[in-house]
Structures are given as structure tokens and as C-alpha cells.
Structure 1
Amino acid sequence: MSTIPNSSRRNFLKLAATAGGGLFIGFNWSTSSAAQLEVLNGAAVAAGTIDFNSYLSIATDGVITIYSPNPEIGQNIKTSFPMVVAEELDVDFSKVKIVQAALDAKKFERQLTGGSGAVPHSWQRLRKAGATARYMLIEAAAKRWNVPAGEITTDKGVVLHKASGKKLSYGELATEASAIPVPAEVKLKDRKDFKIIGTSVKNVDNQNIATGKPLFGLDYYKEGMLFAMVQRPSAFGLKLKSVDSAAAKAMPGIVDVVTFKNNVAVVGKSTWQVKKAREALKIEYEKEGNLESTTDHNRLFTELLDSGEATIRRKDGDVDTAFKNAAKVIKGEYQCPFLPHSPLEPMNFFAHVRPDGVELVGPTQTPELARTETAKLLGIAPEKITLELTRMGGGFGRRLKADYALEAVEVSRLVNAPVKLIWTREDDMTGGSYRPAVRYRFEAALDAQGNMVGYKLRGVGINAGNCTRENNFPSGAVDNLLIDSVEHKSPITTGAWRAPITNFLAYAEQSFIDEVAQAAGKDPVQFRLDLLDKAKKAPVGEIKYDIDRMKGVIQLAAEKSGWGKKPGVSQGFSVYFSHASYVAQVGEVVMEKGKPVLKKVYAAADCGIVVNMSGAKQQVTGGVIDGLGHAMYGNMSFKNGAPEQTNYNNYRLIRINEIPQVEVHFVDNGIDPTGLGEPALPPTGAAVSNAIFKATGKRLRNQPFAEQEELKGIS
């Protein structure tokens, strides 16, 4: 396979229309509980393949194809989605063909990857898709054999009538099944009968990835396409003034140099040629906005934390009186820097703007957004745009935006040719969009018995919007509470970064709660459990988290880690709720040669039913490592609007020898799945920093940890 196959809806329907006869069936779920049937009479699928719904087809030769509509970013959705369909269809998963579906807003709802919401959103839809096809196959067999459908069973893609010994493969029944009326409701499997869901299934792309098959956006190639690279302003707050492209245009392989907005694009016949030509451009910029530095932000944080111009996010009780009468008041400030997303695969996209429409191919977390924005840019109907999804080499929220796709569209339109736009690593790291830099100020009031009777949090963020999660724990568990926020608008572009806001807020909140527990003279785990018990018995205001689920992961993590029972090991605790899931972690630190060394992290997760056990463990482990690496080392700083870190030579990532053992456990409560791609990251920083504090007595209040004096001074 030299190119990524075209599986667009347009080509599929063209094949279906020319096959003659038969029935094409598709589903469009407008809500999570209702299925709206879409039937196209007189259409059949070529080569004897019947599409039973948007998610699966069965060929007369027995080949079963299951389509995965959501973009694959490494979260294993291309394996997990088909597992759910295959479970209800009752087939041998190892014999199923898995295909990445192209963008189709009519067939698929929420065809995006972000917010850890794919499986929760599609769980019932996927199950109904498989169960509906299985129902139709059973009904077809019952009709052929003239026996009651209730006497028929299925197993691994075969329909069985045990009383007579008759059996037929799904392929043998596909054509007849396609004529069966589609049921309005269908019975789903009981959880105890699951054969695939909850098992460990290898990623369906493993072999292709290991053998270098073209799966990713950077792999995509189309005969006759040109390559392009864009030079963007060198600092946030600058705009393009002039460009001299004569030298670049004269270089070998260069087709054109074009400008749009504040960008200059070099277009040519190879990546290397356009990269070298871009270096030959002579560009002048002029100031358009503030040219901000990290030192400016540090000063601004202090000013804004002290200002009275904050937006109140939640207020319970009489906060002023609680602090006035407190036996003890604890205060703490925590700060985090900007962070780039740094996916392994830099931004790239293919675009071909033609008079009759637009072809888009590439790695995007939000394909419909890319198509919609392209339609707006070109002033055409979205239906004239096809978008084919490639696998993504990471994204972590960066590919939620469509800016790099629109750059490809702009360049293709300007040069009137198919164009593959490629960012270098330096482009990727310096071109935005970053995790917002934030500082939090906490205050807690304790009564004489060490109970937390007052709680205040003010968050200040740079382009962060509301940098708090005002309804998360401990809200609802404290009688007197005030949470507010302030935002500073900056030319530095920001965006969603894995577990938005909570990626740092969880560290700050959970570290401060440890500070409060210490001041109260109480065990950190029990302190949290006591607060949750109070929230359950006497809730203050609205509770928007599940108290029992949070207690469940706390207790599981404490049990599995042997909390407080390991001499010579310093343990730190953290728990957090995000994306409808709950994760508690225990970090274990030992002192070696006078320095704290992280040896192990225990993680207990409640994400409902686990679809793919191996994939789920990898998600939690990856979240822990990602959270640890960025808490320890990640730092993007600016000087006069320009990023000071441009590649991995001066931007520090965690290294393989720095990764501790990670032990993962899941709460088995049988509820429908909730998010998992992001929830394991937020608790990690505090589990580690609280363990380091216990080992050294030094409290880490800023990230990255490795640059803090508290660690540098340990000997």
C-alpha cells in the first residue's frame, strides 16, 4: 500500500448506486437513546457486500468490516470502537477487518477526538449497531429455516439452530438479512455474556505501525502534489511588513512563494527544497501588539491576584466570618508555565482546492471543524469538501484546531495545485498554541478541631478563560467557600492541552489539600475521606461529582499501595475528578544519596466498564508518565514575544530511565464507560510532589519541579 486508501462517502455511494437491486441501510442517531433509520431503496453495495449500518458491513464471502469513525490519536479508539460493535454482533474479532471511516457528519455524530468523550458518547450507539445487524441475521435465518427466531443463537459469526444442527455463516445470510425490517428497539447483551469487551486486544494498527506502513498524515502522498512550508512571525505581537523572495524563488525545485495574512509560504517539489528556500527569505516584521516576556507575566500574576477585579465562580456561606474566626489559616500559591503540545508528528495537512470542490486529507482531531472552516474561507458549501482521516502521531489537544489545515487550503488555492503542508519541529513548538500559564492562590481556615471551615481559591491565567473548576472537590464539602478567577489577554496563543485546566489545577489543589491536612495534624487520605463524608451527609450547595465513586478510587489506591505501611518509603496521595472519571494515585519516593527518587506510582481509576483492558492500562500509564514528565521538566518561556525553547535541545522531556513503575487498577462497578484519555494525567503532579515533601520536608509549589530551588538544594 503506497498511499492511504480513499474511503469517502461520495465514492461509497457511487459504488452502491451502480450495483443494482438490494437495500442500503444506514443509521443516524440524533440522540443517545433514539435511532433514526435512513433507508435508501434500490441501492446495493458492489462486490456482494451489504452495509447493515454506518458502522459495519458483511460481504457474501464472509468478510466482516467494521468502521471506526472517530479520529485515532493514539487513544486506541480505532480498536475500542470496533470491539463494542463486534461484541454485540457476536463475531471473532481477530477475523474482522477494521477501516478508518472518512468524515461524514450525516452518518456519524460527534466525529471528533477530544475531551475523553468518544466512548461515553458512542457506547450505546455502537452496541445498537452491532445488535441490530445480529437481529437481522437471526431473523433471516429463522425465515429460511422456518423456525422461531428465539430458537436461534449466534457464535463467532455463525448463526446456529441447535435443535436441527443447522448453521450458516453471516456471509451466507447477508443478502437475505438486508431485506429484514430494521427493529425500532433491539435487546443488548447482558454484561455477564461479554466475550470481547473487558479483554485485552492489541491495537489493530500495531503491525502496520511497526512495519512502517503509510498511516499518518506525514505518510500521505498523491502523485503530482507539491510541498509547502510557511514562515510565520518570529514573535507573538508582530505582523508581516515586507518580504523579499527573489533568492528563494531562484533555488532548485521551487515553484512559487506566496503570502497570506501574516504568513509567507514557500512551495516546491520536495520537503528539503522548500525548507532550504524558506531559510533564504528576507522578511521584515513590525509590532502589532504587546511583545510579552515571562518576567512580565510573573509580575502580572502578582498584580492580578491582589486586584479586586475577579469574576466570582462560586460562593457558599460566609467566607469572611469563617476566616475571621479561624483557629488557623493556611495559605499557598502555585504556578505553572506555558507548555507546547509537542506531538511526535508535527502539524501537516494535504489540500487540493479545485473548481468543483476541495479534497482534504490529514491528521485532525476535529475533521468537521476543518471542513466547516474551509467552507467559510472559500465561500463554498461544506458538501463540496471531502475530508479523509489519517492516523495521528499524537496531538494532546493541538489538533483540535484547524489553523494548519486552513494554511494548506490557502496555499493550494493560491498556487492552484494539490499541496502537502508540513511543519518542522521548530514550527510546531514555536507556532502556538500553548497550555496557558496560570497561578493559583489558596487559603484555608481551620477550626480548633482541625476541621476545614473555610476555603478560598483565586486563579489567574493568561488566555485561560475560567482557569478554575469551581464545582470540583472540595466544593460542596466546605461550609464557607469562595472561588474566583482573573484572565489576562495576551498575543500568545493558547488552547486545550491534555486535560485542559485540570492538568495543573489538580496538582495545585491536591498539593494544597495536603498542606491543610498537615496543618490539621491529620492523615492526608483520611482528611479527604472525611471531607467527602461531610459532603454526603450535609452537602453545601450543588454537588457535581459522585462522592461514592471518588471515595472508591481513594480506598482502592490506598489499599493497593499499602498506604502508610511501608517503612523507608515516603508516599504522596492525590485524587481527581475530570471528564466524568475518577483517578487516585499514590507516588512512592525513597532517598538515595541525599536525593528523592520516585520509584513507583499506583493508580486507581473508575471509568466505568473498561472496553479494552490493555488499551485502558496503556492510557492510564501514559497519562501518569505524561503528567510526571511535564510536571518535572516542561517549561516554555518567552522573551519579547518570542519562544525561548524551539526544539528538544532546549525543551526538556522525560527520558526513559526516569520513568517509574506504574501499577494500574480499575474499579469494577459496571456503569457505562466514562472518559479515560485524560483523567489519569491531572492527579500525578500532586502524588509525586506530596511524596517528595514527605521525604524531604520541602514543598514544591511551582512547575517544573526540576528547576525549583527546593530540589536543587537537596544533597
Structure 2
Amino acid sequence: MKSTTTNSRRDFLKMSAITGGGLVLGFNWFSAEASAPVVFSSVAAGDIGFNSYLSIATDGTITIMSPNPELGQNIITSFPMVVAEELEADWKKVKVLQANLDNKFDRQLTGGSGAVPHSWKLLRNAGATAKFMLIEAAAKKWAVPASECTAANSFVIHSRTGKKLGYGELAEAASKIPVPATVKLKDRKDFKLIGKSVRNVENHKIVTGQPLFGLDFYREGMVFAMIQRPEQFGMKLKSFDGSIAKSMPGIIDVVSFKNNVAVVGKSTWQVLKARKMVKIEYEKEFALESTEDHDKLFLNLMDNGQATVRRKDGDVDAAFKNAAKVVKGEYQCPFISHSPMEPMNFFAHVRPDGVELVGPTQTPGRARTEVSKLLNIPEDKITLQLTRLGGGFGRRLYNDFTVEAAELSSIIKAPVKLIWTKEDDMTAGTYRPAVRYRFEAALDASGNLTGYKLRGVGINSGNPTRENNFPSGAVENLLIDSVEHKSPITTGAWRAPITNFLAFAEQAFIDEVAQAAGKDPVQFRLDLLAKAKKSPVGDIRYDISRMEGVIKMAAEKSGWGKKKDVSQGFSVYFSHASYVAQVADVVMRAGLPVVKKIYAVSDCGQVVSLNGASHQVMGGIVDGLGHAMYSKLSFRDGAADQNNYNTYRLIRMKEVPEIETHFVDNGIDPTGLGEPALPPTGGAVANAIFKATGKRVRNQPFIEEDVFKTIS
């Protein structure tokens, strides 16, 4: 199917259904102020310089551009919902367009669960501003005070006479109303759309197979390419012979750049077959590391590595010297792959007058900057059209595949579509770092936590700890430090970076400490929070009351401690400005623990789309459970042992438990949600497994632990 790139401003005017006049409101992503509106019929598309758009056409269609990349987090639905709420719009008349990369957008990226929190007030002001102007236009037509007019369901109504005018009828007149300096926003109690369940605006396109994703993109005249990269991390290209591949049908060229050998041809299938025929010789550049080496390395660095102190409170040595009991535990996780369903891909056309890029990236601005530096081409000569992302989980924060496509296009002097296979994704990816943690806790004779130590040893992880997270601030004597190992294996952010495993380790260890203290795990956490509230130690970066709230609600909703024949495990975590508590129900079947149900309570501030939020939480839990239970990427002499789903284990449909979601309604603005539900899952499940079996699981994947040894 053919698809072409378009200028975002022209695209907006073309597709927003404005044909003979209407209201086009530009609003500023750097502040909550709107730019001056224009009448569409009086300007050329290229003259419009707004940095975001809200349009109301004469037929009543309302269109908003969504700047952030969409990878399944549902912002392409949530953004227009916020505008429509303040606008009092008929949701059936609202549509949204994906914006291309534009300097005038602020934070045009997807990562860190920050899209809705960042844009919340800006979007509300945009909708409220347009509503104000429509009401003013109607009042002027009727020659009545604007205070006598209200808006509802895309109409302005005169309350005294019952007259009403549709937004489409008022759009052009509204465009002549001066933009107000400030507008009043709705009270939360009056929300009609926000907080309700609304279907994803792209559902129909997705289920009917309309071209949305990067792999769907096609340009007449483009060529296809695949790249052979070193199969072992630590090797570099020495020489290659592409003569046989070049003689195969449909193959245009075989070229090399950096450590890559690229095969270029007329179709993906022809290129895939020809790539296998390229003869390549590599030479060693760095040590070729294996998983066995990493295991030994972790143990050595844990005892002998040069540690960086991340936080230190009180006198830790004295606390442990005087302790009535000391609890110790070590936890380890492997590398894991991001494994998005859509492999990496990108289109690039490097021309004498500029560069055109099209494809799925979480960081389009960074992609443009990297291509600019590589090719020495000014950024204003580079355009980037965003497609929908077929998964990312952090992998598409990095733009190695975008840069590869651009560099290859510059070499072959042609528009090229670069495609990775699933094997390429898994063997040459950017992985979650492998990490090992050592915890120690000091208890006094009454079972009170008086000392706490955590050391994290990571491979390319930077700082593998979150030193200011709970229980920091609740323990008088605390030491958190870390040791780093640099490896040629490429690593990067994986959904809920660092906390995706750290949360499991911390929450499982806190349960061990609670058991040693002879206290209920939930009450043990609440007691620590009460202590932090009464006598805080050092800097506290989390909201104690919000964490207490999700803990208590999760205990209530799950029937904590009241169920028979069900073993429950608890976990709570703070990340990306949100709080999530989970309870896992585990039952024994054929002598093995099985996760039956998971309860999740999230405090993420105001929920925009209720079903979208629930899906985010459920997806995070399934992701967290699946990777904790099953996933592992191991290495032998620098090469990944697993290269596709037949050898890399992911959770299966039949293994997904029932999930029950709840949200705290506390009236605050939205905080993150795309990632916070994942970190607590591993801890809740591990703690429930211990309750059911009496055995601790300290390493991931759980399936390799002794408690599951009868599973083949």
C-alpha cells in the first residue's frame, strides 16, 4: 500500500475538514497561552506557524494534532479527550492526527511515562479557550450577554430562550473573537468525558489493517535493505565478499560502513536470501563475554569492586554491630530483550537539498540530531514523519536503526527502507542490563528495622539503584552504593528502567525482613511509612500519604489475610511520580505454584481514559509477570544464545492470570502510568510463591528456581 510523507501544517489543514472557513486555533506547548486564531480561507497553508492546532470546521468536525509518538500507551486518544472535555465537544465529532516532528512542539517524545502529565494543562486550556470564543461568537449573534450562554455536546445554548447553534455554524465567527488571556477550567466534578471509558481512536484502523506502522510505509521507487552486523559483541568487521549475493535476482548492491554489511535490493525476500550468501570475516576488538563470566564477575565485584556511595544516613556500622538480628539476601537478573512485535525499521532518503525520514521512533528529535551530526546536514534540512510504533518498551528510544538507514541512503544515493528481522532485534539489540543486588537489614530485639544496606552491581547500568526510594527516609542508618562493569554488550532503558527488577528485589527482601521481625508484611511497610512521616531521616522524595493510600486500598480490595486455600503476596512501588500496590493470589496445582489473580491499585492522579488506564496497568502486569517468570537472554563468547521466540521465552496467553484494577481518586493532576504498574509485579508474585511453598525465589527468571524444578 502506498504512503507518502506530508508537511504537518498542510496535512492538518487538508485533513481537518476545513473547506470554506472555520476556526483554526494555535496553542503553545511551552505555555498555556493560545496564539491568535486565523480564518483558514484567508491564508495559505505554508503561512501558518502555529506550534499546535485545534480546528473546528464548518461541518462541526473538531481536529487536534497529537505530537507524541504513539506506541500503544493511548495518548492519541487521551490527548483529544482532554481537549474535548473542556470544549464541551460531541466526542463523535472529534478526530486526531499524528503530528510530524516540529521544533515548535515541546517534549515530542514518548518515554518516562510523561506525555499526559506534561500536556494536561496545555490541552485543557486549548479546549477552554476555543469554548470561550464559540460562546462569545454566539452571544454576539444573539445580542445577549455571554454569561447567559452555556456549551454542551458541540452546541452553544442560550439558557433563557433555549436557542442553540452548532460549533460548525459558529466556527468562522469565533475565529474573529479576540483570544482571552486566561480562561476558567472546569471543576473535576463536572467532567463528562475524562475518567470514563473511551475506545482507542485508532482501533478500527488497527483491526482492519490500515497502514499505520513503520513496516507499512512504502514509497514508489524506494529500495529495501538489510544489514549483517557482527554476531558477537566485541567483534569488528575485517573484510567481506558480496560477489555471490550481488549476482542473485533483485539485488542492487552490497556495501559496508562501520561494522555493517548492507544488502540492497528490490524486495525484502530477495535481500533476506542474499544476505545469507555474503562472506564476512571479523576480528576481535574486545573480550567476548559469556553469562558464566558475568556470574563470576558479579560475585567478585560485590565483594571487591570499587563502589560509588549513592546515599548514606546515620551510623550504619554501629547499627549492624549492635543488631539483635541481621537479615541478608542477594538477587540477580539476566539481560532481557525488549521484544517489540514490530522489528526495527526506518525509511530514509538523503537528497542534495535535505533528508527525509519516515518511521517509528520514540525520540524523533534525537533521531534528527543524530542524523544531522552524522551527515553534517543542518537539522532544518531534515524532516521526520512519525508512524505508529509496533511496540517499543524503551528500544525505540535509541536511533541506531534510523542512523543506519540515513547513512546507507547517503552511500547508495537512493531512498531506502531498512528492515531488521526478529533475529536482528534479539541478537543485536539494546538490552535490559544484567544486575545483582545484595541487601542487609539490622533488626533490634523488638523487630524494628534499625539499619539497611544495599549494593547494586550492574553491567552497563549506570546507577543500578534508586537510592531515594522507600525505605530510604524511614531507616535511621542506611547505606546504598553501586559498582559498575563496562561491557561491549549494548544495554539501555527497558520499560521502567532499573526499577523493573530493583522493585522485585527490594520488595521481596522487605518481606524477608518482615518475616524475621515476626510482623505482617503489609503492616511492616505501613509502620515504616508512619515512622518516616513522624521522624523523617534525610531527604524523602516520595509522597508518604499516597503510598499509604495504595497499600491500604490494595489490602482491602484483595481481602488480604482473609482467604482460605490462597497464598497472597504483597508489593508496593513508587516510580514515574505514581504509586502502585499489588497483591498476588497463588494457588498450588500439581505441586506447583500458579498465579491465579493479581489485584492492582494505582495512584496516578486524574485518570483520563478509564479503559485505557486499565489496559496500561494490565499490560504492565503481564509484562512484569512474564519477564520475571520466564525471560532470559544469555551469552556465549559474546553471542546471544536466544535469537527468536522459539528459544526466548515470553508469557503465554494461558499463563496470564485474572487482573483486577483500581485507581485512587485523589483530585491531583495526572502522573505517570505507562511504566509504574510493572515494577511491583515480580515482588508480589515472589512473595506469594514463598507463602505457598516456603521457598524464596531470588533470581529471575523464576522458572529456573528450585520451586519450579519439575517444570521442563
Give the TM-score taking structure 1 as reference length: 0.96
- For 1:75, the equivalent position in structure 2 comes to 73
- For 1:224, the equivalent position in structure 2 comes to 221
Is 1:464 aligned to residue 456 of structure 2?
no
Aligned partner (choices 103, 106, 121) of residue 105 of structure 1: 103
Structure 2 residue matching 1:81: 3-state secondary structure: helix
Is 1:202 aligned to residue 199 of structure 2?
yes
Give the aligned length: 710
CA distance in 2, matches of 1:578, 1:603: 15
Matched letter for residue 544 of structure 2: I
- For 1:135, the equivalent position in structure 2 comes to 132
Contact 2:333–2:435 at 8 Å: present in 1 too?
yes
CA distance in 2, matches of 1:153, 1:67: 26
CA distance in 2, matches of 1:230, 1:355: 24
Matched letter for residue 118 of structure 1: A
* 1:13–1:617 distance in 2 versus 1, CA, 3 Å: closer
Structure 2 residue matching 1:251: 3-state secondary structure: coil
Structure 2 residue matching 1:490: 3-state secondary structure: coil
Contact 2:550–2:601 at 8 Å: present in 1 too?
yes
Matched letter for residue 303 of structure 1: N
Compute the displacement of 1:181 (Å). 1.6
- For 1:253, the equivalent position in structure 2 comes to 250
Is 1:399 aligned to residue 393 of structure 2?
no
Contact 1:440–1:460 at 8 Å: present in 2 too?
yes
Is 1:656 aligned to residue 653 of structure 2?
yes
CA distance in 2, matches of 1:239, 1:551: 52
Matched letter for residue 172 of structure 2: T
CA distance in 1, matches of 2:270, 2:43: 45
CA distance in 2, matches of 1:136, 1:419: 47
Contact 1:23–1:44 at 8 Å: present in 2 too?
no
Write out per-residue CA displacement over residues 80-134 of structure 1, whole angstroms, 9 at most, x where no aligned residue.
111001111111112212211111121x211111000111111001111111111
* 1:279–1:348 distance in 2 versus 1, CA, 3 Å: same
CA distance in 1, matches of 2:677, 2:40: 49
Structure 2 residue matching 1:235: 3-state secondary structure: coil
Aligned partner (choices 94, 97, 109) of residue 96 of structure 1: 94
- For 2:30, the equivalent position in structure 1 comes to 30
- For 1:587, the equivalent position in structure 2 comes to 584
Write out per-residue CA displacement over residues 657-684 of structure 1, whole angstroms, 9 at most, x where no aligned residue.
1111011111111110000000000000
CA distance in 2, matches of 1:36, 1:52: 9
Give the TM-score taking structure 2 as reference length: 0.96
- For 2:475, the equivalent position in structure 1 comes to 478
Aligned partner (choices 56, 59, 64) of residue 66 of structure 1: 64
Aligned partner (choices 308, 321, 329) of residue 332 of structure 1: 329
Aligned partner (choices 284, 290, 301) of residue 293 of structure 1: 290
* 1:51–1:403 distance in 2 versus 1, CA, 3 Å: closer
* 1:4–1:498 distance in 2 versus 1, CA, 3 Å: farther
Contact 2:39–2:175 at 8 Å: present in 1 too?
no
CA distance in 1, matches of 2:138, 2:36: 24
CA distance in 1, matches of 2:141, 2:379: 45
Gaps of 5+ in 1: none
Structure 2 residue matching 1:304: 3-state secondary structure: helix
Structure 2 residue matching 1:37: 3-state secondary structure: coil
Contact 1:24–1:44 at 8 Å: present in 2 too?
no
Aligned partner (choices 569, 572, 575) of residue 569 of structure 2: 572
Matched letter for residue 100 of structure 2: A
- For 1:632, the equivalent position in structure 2 comes to 629
Compute the displacement of 1:28 (Å). 2.4
Aligned partner (choices 679, 682, 692) of residue 679 of structure 2: 682
Aligned partner (choices 634, 639, 644) of residue 642 of structure 1: 639
Aligned partner (choices 522, 541, 544) of residue 544 of structure 1: 541
Structure 2 residue matching 1:598: 3-state secondary structure: strand
CA distance in 1, matches of 2:51, 2:124: 12
Aligned pairs for 1:140-155 within 5 A: 140-155=137-152
Write out per-residue CA displacement over residues 581-628 of structure 1, whole angstroms, 9 at most, x where no aligned residue.
000001111112211111111111100111000011111011111000
Compute the displacement of 1:27 (Å). 2.4
Structure 1 residue matching 2:35: 3-state secondary structure: strand
Matched letter for residue 527 of structure 1: F
Compute the displacement of 1:305 (Å). 0.7
- For 2:696, the equivalent position in structure 1 comes to 699
Structure 1 residue matching 2:674: 3-state secondary structure: coil
CA distance in 2, matches of 1:89, 1:431: 47
Contact 1:228–1:271 at 8 Å: present in 2 too?
yes
* 1:556–1:24 distance in 2 versus 1, CA, 3 Å: closer
- For 1:553, the equivalent position in structure 2 comes to 550
Contact 2:24–2:55 at 8 Å: present in 1 too?
no
- For 2:350, the equivalent position in structure 1 comes to 353
- For 1:9, the equivalent position in structure 2 comes to 9
CA distance in 1, matches of 2:268, 2:703: 37
* 1:518–1:622 distance in 2 versus 1, CA, 3 Å: same
Compute the displacement of 1:707 (Å). 1.0
CA distance in 2, matches of 1:263, 1:485: 35
Write out per-residue CA displacement over residues 342-385 of structure 1, whole angstroms, 9 at most, x where no aligned residue.
00001011111111111111111111111111111121221111
Write out per-residue CA displacement over residues 682-707 of structure 1, whole angstroms, 9 at most, x where no aligned residue.
00001001000011111000000001
Structure 2 residue matching 1:62: 3-state secondary structure: coil
* 1:13–1:624 distance in 2 versus 1, CA, 3 Å: closer
Structure 1 residue matching 2:593: 3-state secondary structure: strand
Report the more deviating stretch, 35-44 or 146-155: 35-44
CA distance in 1, matches of 2:453, 2:643: 38
- For 1:433, the equivalent position in structure 2 comes to 430
Compute the displacement of 1:61 (Å). 2.2
Structure 2 residue matching 1:183: 3-state secondary structure: coil
Contact 2:39–2:172 at 8 Å: present in 1 too?
no
CA distance in 2, matches of 1:618, 1:11: 31
Aligned partner (choices 178, 181, 201) of residue 181 of structure 1: 178
CA distance in 1, matches of 2:13, 2:587: 62
Contact 1:4–1:215 at 8 Å: present in 2 too?
no
Aligned pairs for 1:436-455 within 5 A: 436-455=433-452
* 1:23–1:704 distance in 2 versus 1, CA, 3 Å: closer
CA distance in 2, matches of 1:620, 1:448: 40
Aligned pairs for 1:35-46 within 5 A: 35=33, 37=35, 44=42
CA distance in 2, matches of 1:92, 1:595: 52
Aligned partner (choices 82, 85, 90) of residue 84 of structure 1: 82
Matched letter for residue 593 of structure 2: P
Contact 2:37–2:176 at 8 Å: present in 1 too?
no
